[in-house]
């Protein structure tokens, strides 16, 4: 029997891989969406309140900066365990992919916020100055100039974040988050079925490549420089 037949006829793969893939995709998709929704405004806040920004606010800037740095420095495995009570409070349980979304999102937000801030910093201050001379308000400048001009980099940052989330989602499987990670651990590792392990790795690789390709294409379409 060839290695391919072995993979294709493996009962565990047949029965559990589709479900695990769905869980991973769902977990990553929902946490990516939430991360983008919170991380983007947070990145804008970091940029705008920084010294020399559109609305410098020393206190806000340092408080948010410290929180974000703290969030980024906590190892994901520890964060996952530490937020279990919070997860239970939000989702009602600490098991399943829905529960895994909570630590994944909490871990990714500060990461993405910093990437957004970096992207915004690359927008030349001259463009902001030009918009101000033209009578634009700070709020309009944030959306119409800063974020818009940085959009290719913001999308590239989101691509990096989503790929990181795919990786972390596998780790979330370890503490009952489900998905491809859980499948790989319980069958590939604990029952030592290399076929399951290979299948999981293959699907994860395909997911990562797909995210990268879609992200790159989107960023390129948005980039007119």
Partner 1 sequence: MSEPRGARPQIEPQGARPQIELRALRKVYPTPGRDVVALDGIDLSVPRGAIHGIVGRSGAGKSTLIRCLTGLERPTSGSVTVDGEVLSDLPESRLRSARRRIGMVFQHVNLFDSRTIAANVAYPLEVAGVPKAQRAVRVAELLDLVGLGERADAYPAQLSGGQKQRVGIARALATEPAVLLCDEPTSALDSATTRQILALIRDLRDRLGITVVLITHEMGVVREICDSVTLLEHGRVVEHGPLGEVVGAYGSRLARELIPVPDLPLGDERSLVEVAYSTDDVATHDVLAAVADLGTQVEIAAGTIETLAGRRVGRLQLDLPADEVTAALGRLHAAGVHAEVATR
φ, ψ dihedrals at 74, nearest 5°: -75, 125
137 DSSP assignment: -
Q: Which residue from 3, 89, 139, 140 is in contact with partner 1, where contact means CB under 8 A? A: 140
Taking residues 75 to 114 in sequence order and writing x for each that binds partner 1 by CB under 8 A, - otherwise, the string is ----------------------------------------
Window of 24-32, 48-56, 78-86, 148-156 that interacts with partner 1 by CB under 8 A: 148-156
What span, in angstroms and rounded, lies between the C-alpha atoms of 222 and 148?
A: 9
* Residue 117, SS3 per DSSP: helix
Note whether 20 and 182 are within 8 A (CB): yes
Q: Which listed residue (20, 36, 40, 145) binds partner 1 by CB under 8 A?
A: 145
Closer CB to partner 1, residue 116 or residue 184? 116
Span 109-138, contacts to partner 1 by CB under 8 A: 124, 126-127, 129-137
Confirm if 79 and 107 have CB atoms less than 8 A apart. yes
**Interaction of residue 153 with partner 1, rule CB under 8 A:** no
Q: Of 7 and 55, which CB lies nearer to partner 1 in the complex structure?
A: 55
Residue bearing tokens 């859980």: 182
Q: How many residues bind partner 1 (CB under 8 A)?
A: 21
- What tokens does 77 get? 């495995």
**CA–CA dist 45, 139 (Å, integer):** 12
Return residues touching partner 1 (CB under 8 A): 124, 126-127, 129-137, 140, 144-145, 148-149, 151, 222, 224-225
């Amino acid at each position: 029997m060839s290695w391919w037949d072995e993979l294709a006829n493996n009962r565990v793969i047949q029965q559990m891989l589709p479900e695990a893939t769905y869980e991973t995709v769902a977990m990553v998709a929902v946490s990516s969406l939430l991360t983008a929704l919170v991380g983007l405004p947070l990145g804008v806040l970091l940029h705008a309140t920084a010294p020399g920004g559109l609305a410098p606010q020393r206190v806000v800037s340092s408080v948010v900066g410290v929180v974000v740095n703290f969030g980024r420095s906590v190892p994901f495995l520890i964060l996952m365990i530490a937020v279990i009570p919070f997860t239970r409070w939000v989702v009602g349980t600490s098991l399943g992919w829905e529960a895994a979304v909570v630590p994944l999102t909490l871990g990714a937000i500060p990461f993405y916020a910093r990437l957004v801030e970096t992207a915004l910093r690359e927008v030349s201050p001259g463009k902001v100055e030009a918009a101000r001379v033209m009578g634009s308000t700070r709020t309009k400048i944030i959306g119409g100039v800063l974020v818009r001009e940085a959009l290719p980099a913001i999308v590239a940052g989101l691509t990096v974040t989503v790929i990181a989330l795919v990786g972390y989602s596998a780790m979330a499987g370890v503490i009952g988050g489900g998905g491809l990670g859980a499948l790989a651990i319980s069958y590939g590792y604990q029952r030592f079925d290399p076929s399951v392990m290979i299948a999981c790795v293959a699907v994860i690789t395909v997911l990562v490549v797909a995210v990268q390709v879609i992200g790159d294409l989107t960023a390129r379409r948005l980039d007119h420089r």
